[in-house]
């Protein structure tokens, strides 16, 4: 069977592809802000927290998403405050939280005897995705896109210059909270495809790739969305033919895109 035929006839494929596209797009959009605000490591920290909670939920036989989503959102809120406070160094705190959650997750999985299904969270698989996730993903993507379209100019200013944004009467705190909550959701959903270890690349790669060439905010936002969607599509096809894990092939494609954009950026500036 050809690739396209499978894609359009197998419900698992359709579901996986739909979630993949939406998550990649959302992660890229939110990623532009996270990367530029120098808090992309929050994404990494959150994915580890999500792993820990998911494993505990599976080991205790609870519905994984119902428990994980609120906890990860709470952590997002907390990590954001942490990175703002000057008394604790944000990056080391995130590292501590990441490894602790990871340890709890691994321990819970082994004690509960569910290492097999937890493996799926660690490395992800597009085939594990369930209808439930699609139901969360569609409104999530709609929200992220709507916020970017309607509040684009405010988002630019909040990302670029928080003090000036505040002086302009923009409620910076609300924006940052909403962004971090949306990031938390994107990570929990995206983890099923990419896995704990690889999900943060969806957030970081596209915007860094776009920044090699584009020098305006609008250019970076549009290009990183395009790069993210293209990398997912290509990675998905590659993983189908090579039987590589989807997460890994998406990251490799992203890395290739980055190298190409880097080279073009270097050449263009000579």
Partner 1 sequence: MSVILKASHICVAYEGKKVVENVSFEVERGDYLCIVGENGTGKSSLVKAMLGLVPTCCGKAEFNLKNGRKRIGYLPQQNVMQNNFPASVKETVLSGCLSGMKFPKIYGKKERDTAEEYMKYLDIYELGKKSVGELSGGQRQRVFLARALCAADEILVLDEPVSGLDINAAKDLYNCLEKINKEKNITIIMISHDMQSALRYATKILHLDKTLLFYGSKEDYLLSPYSKRLLS
By the criterion CB under 8 A, which residues form the site for partner 1?
36, 38, 87, 150-151, 153-154, 156-157, 160-161, 163-170, 211, 214-220
Nearest distance in Å: CB 159, partner 1: 8
Residues present in the chain in total: 270
Q: Which is nearer to partner 1, 9 or 85 (CB)?
A: 85
Q: Which is nearer to partner 1, 35 or 199 (CB)?
A: 35
Name the burial class of residue 243, with classes exposed (0-12), middle (13-18) and buried (19+) by CB atoms within 10 angstroms of its CB. exposed
Distance of CA 22 to the CA centre of its chain: 11
- 216 — alpha (psi -120 to 50), left (phi > 0) or beta? beta
Nearest distance in Å: CB 210, partner 1: 8
The residue among 211, 226, 267, 192 whose CA lies nearest residue 32 is 211
Nearest distance in Å: CB 162, partner 1: 9
Return d(Cα 100, Cα 66) in angstroms, integer.
21
Q: What are phi and psi of 10, to 5 degrees?
A: -85, 120
Q: Which is nearer to partner 1, 81 or 166 (CB)?
A: 166
Q: Which is nearer to partner 1, 151 or 233 (CB)?
A: 151
Q: Which is nearer to partner 1, 121 or 258 (CB)?
A: 258
Nearest distance in Å: CB 96, partner 1: 23
Return d(Cα 223, Cα 206) in angstroms, integer.
8
Residues with Cβ within 8 Å of residue 113, at least 6 apart in sequence: 59
Return d(Cα 109, Cα 138) in angstroms, integer.
30
Enter the DSSP assignment of 195.
-
Nearest distance in Å: CB 31, partner 1: 13
Q: Which is nearer to partner 1, 148 or 236 (CB)?
A: 148
Q: Which is nearer to partner 1, 156 or 236 (CB)?
A: 156
Residues with Cβ within 8 Å of residue 27, at least 6 apart in sequence: 186, 190, 199, 202, 203, 206, 228
Nearest distance in Å: CB 215, partner 1: 4
Nearest distance in Å: CB 22, partner 1: 23
């Amino acid at each position: 069977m050809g690739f396209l035929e499978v894609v359009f006839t197998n419900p698992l494929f359709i579901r996986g592809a739909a979630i993949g596209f939406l998550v990649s797009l959302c992660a890229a959009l939110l990623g532009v802000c996270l990367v530029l605000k120098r808090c992309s490591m929050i994404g990494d920290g959150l994915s580890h927290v999500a792993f820990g909670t998911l494993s505990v939920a599976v080991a205790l036989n609870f519905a994984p998403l119902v428990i994980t989503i609120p906890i990860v959102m709470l952590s997002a809120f907390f990590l954001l405050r942490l990175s703002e406070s000057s008394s604790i160094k944000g990056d080391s705190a995130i590292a501590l939280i990441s490894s602790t959650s990871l340890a709890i997750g691994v321990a819970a999985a082994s004690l509960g005897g569910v290492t097999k299904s937890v493996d799926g969270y660690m490395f992800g698989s597009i085939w594990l995705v369930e209808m439930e996730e699609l139901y969360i993903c569609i409104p999530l993507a709609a929200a992220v896109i709507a916020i970017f379209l309607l509040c684009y100019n405010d988002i630019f200013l909040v990302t670029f210059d928080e003090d000036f944004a505040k002086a302009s009467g923009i409620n910076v705190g609300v924006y940052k909270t909403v962004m971090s909550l949306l990031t938390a959701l994107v990570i929990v959903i995206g983890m099923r495809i990419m896995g704990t270890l690889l999900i943060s690349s969806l957030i970081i790669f596209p915007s860094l790739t776009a920044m090699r060439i584009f020098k305006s905010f609008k250019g970076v936002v549009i290009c990183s969305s395009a790069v993210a969607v293209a990398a997912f599509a290509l990675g998905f096809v590659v993983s189908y033919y090579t039987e590589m894990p989807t997460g890994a092939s998406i990251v490799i494609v992203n890395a290739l895109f980055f190298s190409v954009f880097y080279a073009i950026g270097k050449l263009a500036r000579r």
